[in-house]
Structure 1
Amino acid sequence: MSSRRTLILLGAIAVGVVAALLLFNYVRGIEDRANNNAKRVDVFAAKAPIKRGIPGKTAVEDGSIGTSKIPQEFKPSTAIASTDEIIKKVALFDIPAGAVIIQGMFVDPAAAQVTFRARLKNPDHVAITVSVDQVRGVGGFLQPGDEVNILVFQDIDTEGAKVTAASPGELPATYVLDSIARYLYQKVQILAVGQNALQTPGEQASTTGTQASAAQAGNTGLITFNVPPQAAQLIAMAQQGGSIYLTLVAEDYQPRPLPPPAPIGSTLPGEDPAQLTPYGPAGNEE
Structure 2
Amino acid sequence: MGRRTIVLVVALLLAGLSAFAVWQFLRAVEDDVKADIEVVDVFRANQRIEPGVDGATALTFIESSTTNQEFLPPAAIVDQEALNELFVAEALTTGPISEGAIVTTDMIQSVEEVIIPRLSDTIAPGRVAVAISPSQVAAVGGFVRPGDRVNIVATTAVDVGRFLETITDEDLRAFFFGEEEEPAAPEVPVDEEAGITPEEALAAATPQVFDYTETVLQELEVLAVGAFVREAPGEQPGLGPLGGEILVFEVTVEQAERIIWIDKFTDVTLVLLPEGYVPVETEGVTGDDIFSIVERLQRELENLEARSGG
Kindly tell me the number of residue pairs found equivalent between the two proteins.
Answer: 211
In 1, the alpha carbon distance for the partners of 2:283 and 2:112 equals: 48
What does the per-residue CA deviation read over 1:12-54, in whole Å, with 9 as the maximum and x for residues that have no partner? 1331132122123124314524x4xx4x332223344432223
Instruction: Tell me, yes or no, if the aligned pair for 1:128 and 1:224 is still in contact at 8 Å.
Output: no
Per-residue displacement from partner, 1:175-194 (whole Å, max 9, x unpaired)?
433773313358985837xx
Q: What's 1:247 paired with? A: 268
Q: Determine the structure 2 residue equivalent to 1:14.
A: 17
**1:197-216 pair list within 5 angstroms:** 197-198=227-228, 201=234
* 3-state secondary structure, aligned to 2:50: coil
The answer to whether the 8 A contact 1:182-1:260 is kept is yes
Q: Which residue number in structure 2 is paired with residue 43 of structure 1? A: 42
**2:201 matched residue in structure 1:** none
- Cα distance in 1 for partners of 2:112, 2:217 equals 36
**1:173-192 to 2 correspondence within 5 Å?**
174-177=206-209, 180-184=212-216, 191=224
* Percent identity over paired residues: 15
1:25 to 25, 28, 31: 28
Change (3 A) 1:77 1:239: closer
In 1: Cα distance, 2:46 partner to 2:255 partner? 48
List structure 1 runs of 4+ shifted beyond 4 angstroms: 71-75, 109-114, 145-150, 152-159, 185-190, 196-202, 253-259
Q: Which residue of 2 aligns with 1:92?
A: 94
Aligned to 1:79: 77
Separation (CA, whole Å) in 2 of partners of 1:20 and 1:91? 49
Distance 1:114 1:226, change over 3 A: farther
- 1:65 — aligned with what? 62
- Give the partner amino acid of 2:79: A
CA contact (8 A) 1:59 1:65 kept: yes
What is the SS of the residue equivalent to 2:286?
Answer: coil
How has the CA–CA distance of structure 1 residues 26 and 236 changed in structure 2, closer, same or farther, with 3 Å as cutoff? same
**Structure having the higher Rg:** 2
1:110 and 1:198 map into 2 onto residues whose CA distance is 23
Equivalent residue for 1:108, pick from 104, 107, 110: 110
1 or 2, which has the higher helix percentage? 2
Q: Over residues 111-131 of structure 1, what are the superposed CA-to-partner deviations in whole Å (9 max), with x where a residue is unaligned?
A: 5464233996x99xx76215x
Structure 2 regions of 5+ residues with no counterpart?
145-149, 165-182, 184-203, 236-245, 275-279, 297-310
Does residue 261 in structure 1 map to residue 285 in structure 2? yes
* Corresponding residue SS for 1:52: coil
Shift of 1:8: 0.5
| Other-structure match for 1:129 | 130
Specify which of 3, 8, 17 is matched with residue 5 of structure 1: 8
Report the 3-state secondary structure (helix = DSSP H, G, I; strand = E; otherwise coil) of the residue aligned with 1:18: helix
SS in 2 for 1:50: coil
Alpha-carbon distance in 2 for matches of 1:255, 1:77 = 47
> In 1, distance between residues paired with 2:292 and 2:210?
14
SS in 2 for 1:2: helix
Query: Is the contact made by 2:262 and 2:268 (CA closer than 8 Å) also made in structure 1?
Result: no
With structure 1 as the length reference, what TM-score do the two structures score?
A: 0.50
| C-alpha separation in 1, matches of 2:234 and 2:57 | 17
